[in-house]
Amino acid sequence: MATELDRKARGPESPVGLEDAHRIAKHSPENGELPEGRAQMSGGATHLPSGKSNGGAVKAEERSAKAEAARASLLAAAKTCLLEVGFANLSTRKVAEAAGVPLSQIHYHFGSKSGMVLALLKAENDRLIDRQRIMYAEDRPLSARWKKAVEFLEEDMASGYVRLLHEMMAASWSDPELLEDMREVIGTWQQVLTDVAEEAEELVGGYGPFSPTEIVTLVGAIFIGGEASC
């Protein structure tokens, strides 16, 4: 009677057939495994089957690779289009068509036309700044390194970087947020040249009333003016 009352108090139990019982026993925690596709519980943590976990990771990597490819295609198309028509006439729709991706991808990756071109400029700028630093760190006379820097300028004008830089400088005059970004871009070049000016200062014995930073400002203005006239 007591046993019957206890069973009723616990409520109805889920029926377990003989086949189920064998399966549960076979895949019990003591045997260290569970049926395929079922998560294992250990110490309060759920461990997904390795097959599904790896499959999710592969899909995530594929999505990431596709996103990076779309972004790279947009930047390449933006550079080509900008060099043809300039920033003011640049059409995001034509950029997306040239890249072979939906127009919405521009907003997804860059937020706006300005954001896209700025991303392009920063990518080009970072590459060239690294190039300059590596060159100036070489163990050879400063005059030889400066001559190489002038050769680099000719390469940069031919590649379209200088055009891109000046297009964004012009656009930044009417865009305060973009202006701050362009100050950062120009500042990276000023820092490289300041390091060179400080090295040269030790060789020539100083610049009279001018500091290395002031010399860089003057030289930078000459370069920008020369680039704009070409």
Q: Residue 13 and residue 149: Cα distance in Å, rounded?
A: 83
Per-residue pLDDT of the chain (230 residues; tens, 9 = 90+): 444 444 444 444 444 443 444 444 444 444 444 444 444 444 444 454 555 557 778 788 888 899 999 999 999 999 999 999 999 999 999 999 999 999 999 999 999 999 999 999 999 999 999 999 999 999 999 999 999 998 998 899 999 999 999 999 999 999 999 999 999 999 999 999 999 999 999 999 999 999 999 999 998 888 887 777 66
Q: Using only the alpha carbons of the chain, give its radius of gyration.
A: 32
Verdict on whether the full-model pTM lies above 0.75: no
How would you write 200-229 as a 3-class SS string?
A: HHHHHCCECCECHHHHHHHHHHHHHHHHHC
CB distance 178 to 118 below 8 Å: yes
